[in-house]
Structure 1
Amino acid sequence: MATSVASEVHPGANHADLPKNFEQGDVEERLYKMWEENGYFKPSDTAAGEPFTIAMPPPNVTGALHMGHAMFVTLQDIMARNARMRGRPTLWLPGTDHAGIATQLVVERSLEADGLTREGVGREEFERRTWEWKKEYGGRIGNQIRRLGASCDWSRERFTLDEGLSEAVLEAFVSLHDRGLIYKGTYMVNWAPKLQTAVSDLEVEYADEPGTLYYFKYPVEGGEGDGAYLPVATTRPETILGDTAVAVNPADDRFKSFIGKRCVVPFSNGRTIPIIGDDYVDIEFGTGALKITPGHDPNDYEIGQRVGLPTINIMNKDGSMNGNAGAYEGLDRAECRTKLWADMESQGIAIKSEPYQTRVPRSQRGGEVIEPLVSEQWFVKMETMAKPALQAVETGELTIVPSRFEKIYKGWLTDIRDWCISRQLWWGHRIPVWYVHESQAALDAARSGTGKGSSPTYVVARNEAEATAKAKAAHGEHVVLYQEEDVLDTWFSSGLWPFSTLGWPNEEAADLAKFFPTQVMETGHDILFFWVARMVMMSYGMTGKLPFHTVFLHGLVRDEKGRKMSKSLGNVVDPLNVIDEQGCDALRFTLATGTAAGQDLNLNMDRLASNRNFTNKIWNSGKFVLYSLEGMSDDERVELVDAAAAVPSSLPDLPLAERWIVSRLHAVVDHVTSAHDRYDFGEAGRAAYSFFYDDFADWFIEGAKSRLYGDDPAAAKTTKAVALYVLDNTLRVLHPFVPYVTEEVWRSLPHRGDSIMNQSWPRLDAERDAGAVGAFETVQGIVRSIRNARAEYAVEPAKRIPAFVVISDATLMEEVAAELAMVGGLARLDAEASRVCAAAPADAVETPGDFVQTVVSDGVEVYLPLSGIVDPAKELARLGKQAGKLEKEVDGLAGRLKSPKFVEKAPAAVVEKSKKELAELEEQLASVRSRMSQMEALAAK
């Protein structure tokens, strides 16, 4: 168990010193500063439990807080605060990602504003400016995350380009290359023409957009008549110039006779390509004949690799057509599409074009259309690395919550492709490869030919000195080196995050020894493969260990209508605005309890407002307890803290209501703790909320007033101790969800310690009194039955009425009788005229019409004398008006149903609905008339 950092008892505040409502704007900044300055976010040196570590998914250094951040910060902070209170040295390690493309774009735009370009200022100056930008603006996202109450250890904050993390990246690259897992190869990648770089699959967003399907005649070499051409459909006619085959399905009777013949590529000076048979071709799509362009379509590339087709690249890196496009060289790809189709029309080989909804890949950064392009890049072999990552889930060593995502994880790792890790950027980890040339002249020649060193001879090293030594040893003293210009994909460095942030590759690092492996990786389900799987693979590859034992996946935060938040829809909700309006606690509680693991959350503004009211309810409960302590000296308050701590041991001697609330608290603590342990944070929060609202605030606090302000000082003292004990422990249970209001209320109460953050989690398996729980449920049933009768007879709220509670069980009768004052307070009873007894009063049995009788449960009944509830004359007048209104409605609806026109012409469902409504009205009228007869009899006495 965690222990308080101080044993001194603080007497707390006075009720009058606290504002009427919880004003979060005055609290959040002050408390967060206090927490951070006192080092409460750092792992405790004295906590004896097993370490608990979470590595925060590093947001982009260019980022601004959005609801996705708010979700992951809330859930991870709940885990961290819970673990801390349960006595575990807790490290929640924050940091940011250098975000290669996003950051480079920001800096390039600032250069453009000054009339400069990246190429114009050169690499060294560009990197200097980028570091300056990072220094000035890179802390924004961290400060915004603080607004969410994140209790992460900012003293250990990391950045993916930090010196230590960069060392880890170099070590990982060299290690993987030495093992033959990194190689340079030519494959198809996602190419961003404006950015001039390959991008990862995660950085490509697909959107269904209006396009065109173009039908044309593909001439068949030597063909005549019906065999003169194949009809082909495509959405990208500009890629025809890169075709290396036309495919048909061998089962397609229309075209199978064409297999083995050749087509002539239009506008290619007679270049011919084979017609092949392949089951991949969808007979129903387009014309049933498919042009194959391995250089510019990922599916065509797969077919080309499978059947051995050549690959022709017809585009430059900027998206313009190259020399392989013949007469179209120099045109932009979009311009080429228009020009080539016009030429096909003029040549008579165009058949038709029609609107077609097409799936367009766009860059997440900038929105440009991605070009599938075959390019020479650096790759990591994934099959070998995937095996232990796959086995970890299959053996149960790695758990994914919710479990349905295990199937997706396994599917990705089973059918995995090699990972393209090179990016044609300047901001990032420069690939530690040095190309080896025999002289400066040879280097200059190589660079002038390709724009960068492309010699197949290279060395891999951690730095230039090591590279020089390796090159000289292998190729002689007079070599000239040039470092690879590409940088690594940001997912490469973030794949090392769980252990690079703790000091790896320094195996002696204290944090690495104590806090790795980490426990949980909490993140969005959309990056399960792109990041989570890569962390698992890289961790096994570098450390031989699983980086975490549990992956917890949250869903998207959507708007109230279930739509994805986007600027184009105008439905983006800014977390900072919500915090300003409703408070951080309300936002956190809404996010944590609004959904289950892996499920998307529709953010409801009414729920936010309701949870803002919840924080105020906690505040008011604290004020009530403090109000009950008014007049107590500081010494008496200190004694009360000790009395509250002793409540569990004195459970059997407490009054019924106190035994009930303590027993309910202990049960809820176990329930909430179990929910935390199985990562069901929604259930944990909802259970704590329900106990606080329904049991503590609505029942115990209201019922306690009779003892707190009664004539028995000893009973009042006992109730104060129980109220303090229950509220203190309830605040601890709620603290991970709503840290600010719980801290502020807790510090206002008499307490031992400096902060609720370093208080122990409530004890598990604590004492309970099942009999007291059952007896108090009977009390609740009695109160509810009386309240229902009051509502039914429209009794004025302030009016106190008599009641006879009849209980056959002697022990239960004694328990309830002892709580009659509380029942009277909750149900507004006339205490002197009410009693709890073993049998019904004689007059109630002999004149049942003069009493309202309700059965609460087996052996428990309540009798309410009508004379004490209603004024017969007033009630008759009220019921008469009600009866008159109902009679009109009944007559009108009955007349309508007697009309042949209505019954015959109205839809059967409408007629049936009207009959049902009439029956309900007649039943209500009969009830009112019965009540009127009762009141008439009562008035006559």
Structure 2
Amino acid sequence: MPTELPKAYDPSLIETKWAEFWVRERLWDVPADVAESAGPGAAARKPGAAAKSFVMLLPPPNVTGRLHMGHMLNQTEMDILTRWHRMRGEEAVWVPGTDHAGIATQMMVERQLASEGTDRKALGREAFLERVWQWKGQYGGAITDQMRRLGASVDWSREYFTMDDNLSNAVTEAFVRLYEQGLIYRGSYIVNWDPVQQTAVSDLEVEHKETTGKLYFVRYPLTDGPVGGTDSITIATTRPETMLGDVAVVVNPADERYTALVGKTVTLPLVGREIPILADDWAKPEFGTGAVKVTPAHDPNDFEIGKRHNLQNLIIMDETARIAVPGSPYDGLDRYDARERIVEDLRAAGLLVEVKEHGLAVATSQRSGAVIEPRLSPQWFIKIQPLADKAIAAVEQGAIKFTPAMYEKTYFEWMRNIHDWCISRQLWWGHRIPAYHCPQCETVCVSRTRPERCGSCDHAEMQQETDVLDTWFSSGLLPFTVFGWPVEQGAGDRAQGAASESLQRDRTDLDRLYSTSLLVTGFDILFFWVARMIMLGTHFMLDVPMPDGSKRELKDAVPFREVYIHALVRDADRQKMSKTKGNVIDPIQIIEKYGTDAVRFTLASQASPGTDIAFNEQRTEGYRAFANKIWNAARFLFLQMERAKAAGYNVKMGPAAAVAALPEITPVETRWIFARLRAVCGEVEKALADYRFDEAANAVYQFFWGEFCDWYLELVKLRLSFPSDAEGSPAPVEGASEESRPIQNPETAISLAGLVGVFEASLRLLSPFMPFLTEEVWHALYENEPPAKSIALTRYPQAADYPADDAATAAIATLQELIVTVRGLRKDLGVPEKEAAPIVLHGDNRTLALADANRDMLAKLARVGDVEFSGEPLTGAAARGGAGFDVAVVYERQIDVAVERERLTKEIAKLEKGLQAAERQLGNDAFLAKAPAAVVDGLKKQQAETATLYEKAKASLTALPT
């Protein structure tokens, strides 16, 4: 018999136990040799036959991370999908890992060092990196520990860290190949410089905050005296401190105000340097004065102007955004302090014309919060073509599908306007760029290994590049590097040195698991990560032959087949969560309060493509009650199984199986619940395939609580009458002969088997959404001797597993409507809850036969004392009408006529609106021409039923006493 469950459901008592069990038993590990796998459905396959693979890569959280609600949503959705595919018999491989997070991790360790009164420069690079590895070992596993605690069904045997040796070697190989292909170059360009982290950051790592700044108007005196009556040109700038690096003033060639000044020179205020006035289309006559100062080393637009006019690049700030102009009175000042001094000096010199308030977007670093300083800096870049073209073609050709589809347009817009990618960072923590500089002749050599001597001058001490790679470069390679890339290609490639022997790795995983099936991620890293994975995957994997040796096509080079972009989790007022607002929700606290299953179900029930989630604890409290409902239903079922055993019924559990057909004597409610189980299986299947987690969760919820618990359990109680209950017969003796056992009622046996079967299937249906609760109850159901180590390794219920029964479905629908109608009448009439009352019923022969055959059902669920049939329609205050019947409750107490009149009046108005809506639709020729026949037939049926109810309501209103 089932293992007894505690009276109260307490998730804290079961979740840690099963989370540890799943990891300890390595239930989610998938070996490289698929023939060795024992996943669900493996036994049904031919020996050695590979199952269909469902492969996902976890967006690697930063090693510095802690679980937040965005992670919780992402991992809930991924876990639901992984468990669902696994239970469908597929080889589900969910690969976990963490990212070394160059900027974030270095910042954490530098803060730690600062608290000790030192810094990384005092330690030196090697000692600093040792400290980072120590920090990683001590604190870096927090988020993956939380994932284990939350039961994420990832393959922990494949867990990676982006700085692992094999992945680091692959990063080096990728860099060298791109360099050899002419797709990586080094040059000095304007970058977004973070003066706190003292590194370049990408455009995607910059946030623009709208603020009110100032626009300064400054006179630049003409060097050779007045021209046309003017002795100066006034420029407008938001950053006067950068004038120390000015090399020109530009005006628009079409701006007639300045035509005579083009080619003249001005004297740079406070500096004294002569600089030219040039004509360039960049200058906009409508902005400021129409004249623009040019500082090529500190502004991206000025840098382009400088290239067009062959201007000098003067760097006037150091890595910390302090003025670095030796001999200048501003040397060593912070940029903002320098701004104040410069403005005061300009004012004193009579060169500051005016200062106006001006709206502008201030660029700040996402990581440090520092205001970005555009700065000319030598950096390493990837030429974005031809990578971008292949990535665009992959989506255009349908090799990658986006859900929601609107993100495809966003992807194209960004990819078609993409710039070369700056991949170097001025950090110490990260993948060090495999480039080596000769200090003697300044030759730069890119190599897989450190060269012993300079190839140009034979110098013996080559120095490695100090910069590291952008974290997104290494993470962009993950979809193929985690599965063993680079791999041995062939004799021709080896002869060209495409990969060294040390990098030749087993390609079993790469052949079987690439391309991955799906990427689930947030919009915020669509360009950071998603687009870059597509670019790098389609570039590198096109060179890897297919498993059969044939040439790989673009559709097989993509890193994933589908991308599902999930929404944001907001607070209950739909505000974005932020520490500043104080509305951040800690998922761990919510989990400790309500249980992981309730939080997962809350997120799933609201997760629909393109719609943000307003997280409300009240909903979680409701789903905690749902978990309690499942628990109590299990306790009820286990009690019935104990009663059955005592009565001699055979209720020993075996492996759950599909129900091809039900015996002819199967009661109508059991036929109905199996038909409903079939329908809900189909609904869940379609919803999950479309990433409608909300529809899938709500379908399961409504089925289990609304149909199984609220209706079926009450109905099936009528069948579970065991001889030992009625006659007090003793429990059968173990080992007694069949002849000595009590006679079993076939209807009772079928009902009990149906109850157990549907409940067990419901647990499997719920398992991906609520894995802990279903695991606990399922093991208890099988007396801790289940047919598999985990419910997650069994078969997911399929619609085809259970019989349809339209007649039973229609019958129960009619009986439900009748019961609900009688309950409403009893309430209106004030019939005491425990008192039975007779009813009078009018309807078609089918309805009357149903009521007659199921008097016990009506008595149990609607407190019906007796059923009398009428040949005439029923009206009056004690009568109600359904779609196919009229029913009246016979009770002496009179209803409140005024209240009943008001109720009927409202009902008639509601029905009138329904009829009008139906008439509009059915009278719309355009709609009828396009709508499927089934939809039109359904509307006509609904219209007819509404019309019937309308006439009955009017008759009842007329029959009321005045």
1:671 matched to 2:683? The reply is: yes
Q: Is 1:793 matched with 2:826?
A: no
Residue type at the aligned position of 2:214? T
Is this contact kept in 2: 1:241–1:325, CA < 8 A? no
Of 423, 436, 457, the match for 2:443 = 457
Structure 1 residue 328: deviation in Å?
Answer: 2.1
Contact kept in structure 2, 1:656 and 1:815, CA below 8 Å:
no
> Does structure 2 retain, via aligned residues, the 8 Å contact 1:579–1:587?
yes
Q: What is the rounded CA distance, in whole Å, between the counterparts of 1:809 and 1:630 in structure 2?
A: 40
Q: Give the distance between the partners of 1:248 and 1:237, measured in 2 at CA.
A: 18
- Distance in 2 of aligned mates of 1:692 and 1:270: 82
Q: Classify 1:556/1:644 alpha carbon distance in 2 versus 1 (closer, same or farther; 3 Å).
A: closer
> Does the 8 Å CA contact 1:402/1:552 hold for their aligned counterparts?
yes
| Structure 1 match to 2:481 | 500
Match of 1:727 among 759, 762, 769: 759
What aligned pairs does 1:750-769 form with structure 2 within 5 A after superposition? 750=782, 752-766=787-801, 767-769=803-805
**Could you tell me which residue of structure 2 aligns to residue 448 of structure 1?**
none
1:243 matched to 2:246? The reply is: yes
Q: Does residue 276 of structure 2 align to residue 273 of structure 1?
A: yes
User: Following the alignment from structure 2 to structure 1, what is the Cα–Cα distance between the partners of residues 538 and 658?
Assistant: 50
Tell me the distance in 1 between the aligned counterparts of 2:885 and 2:959: 28
Question: Is 1:707 aligned to residue 694 of structure 2?
Answer: no
Q: Select which of 836, 845, 855 maps to 1:820.
A: 855
TM-score by length of 2: 0.82
Q: Look up the match of 1:854.
A: 880
Cα distance per residue 1:104-144 (max 9 Å; x no partner): 12222222222222112211111111111111111111111
8 Å CA contact 2:384–2:421 kept in 1: the answer is yes
- Structure 2 CA distance for partners of 1:347 and 1:81, relative to 1, 3 Å: same
CA shift digits 1:403-422 (9 cap, x unpaired): 11111111222111111111
Contact 1:644 1:724 in 2 (8 A): no
Superposition deviation, residue 209 in structure 1: 3.3
Contact 2:607–2:693 under 8 Å retained in 1: no
Q: Deviations over 1:864-914 (max 9, x none)?
A: 2242xxx34xx67x989999xxxxxxxxxxxxxxxxxxxxxxxxxxxxxxx
What is residue 378 of structure 2 aligned with on the other side?
376
Secondary structure, counterpart of 2:151 in structure 1: coil
| Structure 1 spans left out of the alignment, 5+ residues | 1-10, 443-454, 884-926, 937-941
Query: 1:458 deviation in Å?
Result: 2.3
Q: Which residue identity does 1:569 align to in structure 2?
A: K
Counterpart CA distance in 1 for 2:302 and 2:457 is: 45
Residue 769 of structure 2 is matched in structure 1 by 737
Of residues 182-191 and 653-662 in structure 1, the stretch that sits farther from structure 2 once superposed is: 653-662
Residue 680 (structure 1) aligns with:
692
CA contact (8 A) 1:73 1:148 kept: no
* Contact 1:652/1:659 (<8 A) preserved: no
Give 3-state SS (helix, strand or coil) of 2:878's partner: strand
Any idea what SS the aligned residue of 1:352 has? strand
Note if contact 1:647-1:721 (Cα within 8 Å) is conserved in structure 2: no
Partners in 2 of 1:661 and 1:74 — Cα distance? 29
Q: Secondary structure of the equivalent of 2:333?
A: coil
Against the structure 1 CA distance between its residues 169 and 277, is the aligned structure 2 distance closer, same or farther, given a 3 Å change threshold?
closer
In 1, the alpha carbon distance for the partners of 2:327 and 2:684 equals 67
How many residues align structurally? 839
Tell me the amino acid that sits aligned with residue 834 of structure 1.
V
1:869-880 → structure 2 map (5 Å cutoff)? 871-872=893-894
Which of 12, 16, 21 lines up with 2:2 in the alignment?
12
Q: 1:347 to 1:722 in 2, by over 3 A?
A: same
Residue 867 of structure 2 corresponds to which residue in structure 1? 834
In structure 2, the residue corresponding to 1:549 is in which secondary structure?
Answer: strand
| Contact 2:76–2:600 under 8 Å retained in 1 | yes
Matches within 5 A, 1:336-351: 336-351=338-353
In the TM superposition, residue 343 of structure 1 has moved relative to its aligned partner by: 1.2
Matching residue within 3, 7, 14 for 1:27: 14
1:554 maps to which residue?
566
Higher share of residues assigned helix: 1
Distance change >3 Å, CA 61–CA 882, structure 1 → 2: same
Question: Structure 1 residues 153 and 463 mapped into 2: Cα distance closer, same or farther (>3 Å)?
Answer: same
**Could you tell me whether the CA contact under 8 Å between 1:198 and 1:424 is conserved in 2?**
yes
Task: Quote how far apart the aligned CAs of 1:808 are.
Answer: 1.1
**Taking structure 1 as reference, are residues 626 and 134 closer, same or farther at Cα in structure 2, changes over 3 Å only?**
same
753 and 237 in structure 1: CA distance in 2 versus 1, 3 angstrom threshold: same
Aligned to 2:509: 511
Amino acid at match of 2:879: Q
Using the alignment, how far apart are the partners of 2:767 and 2:852 within structure 1?
A: 37
Deviations 1:605-658 (A, max 9, x none): 221211222222222222222222222339978646469746441176532222
What is the rounded CA distance, in whole Å, between the counterparts of 1:280 and 1:592 in structure 2? 53
2:82 to 80, 90, 114: 80
Aligned 1:42-441 pairs, distance under 5 A:
42-43=29-30, 45-46=37-38, 47=42, 48-220=50-222, 222-223=225-226, 227-248=230-251, 262-278=265-281, 281=284, 283=286, 285-305=287-307, 309-323=311-325, 326-437=328-439
Paired amino acid for 2:758: V
Q: Give the CA deviation at 1:233.
A: 3.2
Report the Cα offset of residue 541 of structure 1.
2.2
Report how far residue 593 of structure 1 moved. 2.3
Separation in 2 of the partners of 1:628 and 1:275?
Answer: 93
Supply the AA of the counterpart residue of 2:763. L
> What are the superposed Cα offsets for residues 196-243 of structure 1, whole Å, 9 maximum, x if unpaired?
211223332222234333333344554468744444433211112233
Q: Distance in 1 between matches of 2:182 and 2:562?
A: 30
Using the TM superposition, give the Cα deviation of residue 516 of structure 1 relative to its aligned residue in structure 2, in angstroms. 1.8
Q: Read off the aligned partner of 1:537 and give its amino acid letter.
A: M
Indicate if the aligned counterparts of 1:383 and 1:416 stay in contact, CA closer than 8 A. Answer: no
- Among 742, 748, 771, the alignment partner of 1:716 is 748
Q: 1:322 offset after TM fit, Å?
A: 1.9
The superposition leaves residues 72-122 of structure 1 with CA deviations (integer Å, 9 ceiling, x where unpaired) of 111111111011101111111111111111111222222222222211221
Partner of 1:536: 534
1:931 to partner: Cα distance:
10
Verify: 1:691 aligned to 2:740, yes or no. Answer: no
Letter in 2 for 1:532: V
- State the SS of the aligned residue for 1:689: helix
CA–CA separation in structure 2 for the residues paired with 1:555 and 1:597? 7
Alpha-carbon offset, residue 786 of structure 1: 1.5
Q: Secondary structure at the match of 2:849?
A: helix
Task: Note if contact 2:283-2:291 (Cα within 8 Å) is conserved in structure 1.
Answer: no
Report the CA distance shift for 1:797/1:393 in structure 2 as closer, same or farther (over 3 A): same
Structure 2 residue runs without a partner (length 5+): 32-36, 43-49, 488-504, 543-556, 727-743, 903-952
* Native 8 Å contact 2:283 2:292 kept in 1: no
Match of 2:806 in 1: 770
CA distance in 1, matches of 2:306, 2:75: 46
Q: Find the aligned partners of 1:548 and 1:42 in 2 and give their Cα distance.
A: 21
Task: Give CA deviations for 1:278-297 in whole Å, capped at 9, x if unaligned.
Answer: 267372x5445443433222
Following superposition, the deviation at residue 432 of structure 1 comes to 1.0
State the TM-score, normalizing by the size of structure 1.
0.84
Q: How far apart are the structure 2 equivalents of 1:550 and 1:479?
A: 50
Distance 2:56 2:656 in 1: 35
Deviations 1:672-691 (CA, angstroms, capped at 9, x unpaired): 11121222222222222222
Given the alignment, which residue of 497, 513, 520 partners 2:518?
520
SS at match of 1:106: helix
CA distance in 2, matches of 1:174, 1:787: 77
1:569 to 581, 599, 613: 581
Seen in structure 2, the aligned counterparts of structure 1 residues 218 and 780 have a Cα distance that, compared at 3 Å, is farther
C-alpha separation in 2, matches of 1:149 and 1:643: 24
